[in-house]
Amino acid sequence: MSAGKKLYSVLSVLLLIMLSCGNTYAYKPDSSLEARIKSCVVKIIRYNRSGDPVGTGTGFFVAPTKVITNRHVVAGGYSAAIQSLEREVFPVQGVAAYDELLDLVLLEVDVPLRKFDYLDTGTIIPFKGDRVIVIGNPWGRGPKTTTGVVTDIQEWEFVGKVIEYDAPTFPGNSGSPVFTTGGRVIGVATWGRRYGGKNIGYAIPCERILNLSWGTVETLEEWSRRLKKKIIAKNLFQKGYNLFKNGSYKSAVPCFEKAVENNPEFAEAWFLLGMCRYKSGYFDQAISAYKRAIRYRNDFFQAYFHLAVAYEGTGRSTEAEDYYNRVISIKEDHVDAHFKLGMLYIDMGKRKDAEAKYRDLLDYDILKAKTLREHIEREFKK
């Protein structure tokens, strides 16, 4: 073998070794960043009526006296406490806010005002492939740090965006912060599983924490008692949802009616009740149900959209226009809202407004934009 070929062979082997090392290299977060995050992360202990610990999870401070975690971490408990990195224990005063479907709960904790720092949360949604770090208390032991990457950004019905990642997530990790290498918290670890020999975790984006409406603090006992009715409502909702998906709208109605009877603030149940009413031809009842959904969840763009459709179907164009615009103000890239608003403008004789919707659609769906353009030209040539 010539000297050149030998050198090429050696370089090839070295390159393969380097690539192999690169693939198996375990990322380790910056020690100062890890220490700062750990100081804000706590173990959450749930107690029964006898004062015995019956479950643990993780949470982290998002305000001087407020800790975010998963609903299922404290649900059913008579009381709860947090344990800090230094093993200090502080009682949980109660629940300040929660979201049933998102499995989030905001706890008010009895701690000195400046005792703990809190983590920086925001509305950033990561990209697939971004590196993430999770710090929590798997199996009640910790805090422990795991790392991985974002494997997908999914859209779940009624939940919205969910971050999928491959950092190991075990029982006890529920409520852990999922954050970037820059220290920005992007989500709350909520579910974890093993699939195909791989770890898969799911996190609710932090923007949903910002949407929680803080109210009067309830004791954990009071909240757990009230939650029982909400669990009944959730089961009725699931039954109604299955009927709805199968097209059995009339059969689904009693399920949703009983769901909102048990939980009057169940926005998603009001929404699907409205959908069933609309599909059964009861437009005014549908409008009423959609409005109840919006009352309890002001960012519910699906309810705004179908409310606009119902108003349009009953000939109330001004109201329909208003609600289509509200959809777009919440979800700027809602193609159907842009398109239907453009079509509504055609019916209303507002050519300039219809053309403006055509231009907006060019940014989101060229085929829809082309269809709207054809309708504009056809109608205004008459």
pLDDT digits (tens, 9 = 90+) for 324-347: 999 999 999 999 999 999 999 999
Give the pLDDT of residue 11: 40
| CA–CA dist 145, 134 (Å, integer) | 6
What distance in Å separates the CA atoms of residue 152 and residue 171, rounded to the nearest whole number?
22
Token reading at 85: 């990195």
d(CA 258, CA 209): 28
Residue type, 266: F
Chain-centroid distance of CA 83 in Å reads 26
Mean pLDDT, rounded, for 357-367: 95
| Domains defined along the chain, listed by start | 33-109 (2.40.10.10), 131-210 (2.40.10.10), 220-380 (1.25.40.10)
Q: Decide which of 293 and 192 is more confident.
A: 293
Closest CA to 334 of 364, 355, 310, 311: 364
pLDDT at residue number 71: 92
* 3-state helix vs strand vs coil in the chain, percent to 5: 45, 25, 30
For residue 253, which of 268, 272, 233, 267 has the smallest C-alpha distance?
272
Q: What angle do CA 322, 325, 329 make, to 5 degrees?
A: 135
Helix (H) or strand (E) holding 227: helix 220-245
- Of the candidates 190, 41, 204, the one whose C-alpha atom is nearest the C-alpha of residue 118 is 41
**Is 78 strand, coil or helix?**
coil
CA dist., res. 375 & res. 249, Å (int): 33
Of 180-189, 223-232, 347-356, give the range with the top mean pLDDT. Answer: 347-356
Q: Report which secondary-structure segment, H or E, holds 16.
A: helix 3-24
Closest alpha carbon to 100 in 71, 67, 80: 71
* Mean pLDDT computed over 176-202: 88
Burial of 22 (0-12, 13-18, 19+ CB in 10 A): exposed
pTM for the full model? 0.64
Report the greatest alpha carbon distance in the chain: 87
pLDDT tens digits, one per residue of 47-99: 999 999 999 999 999 999 999 999 999 998 999 999 999 999 999 999 999 88
**Residue-level pLDDT at 382:** 59
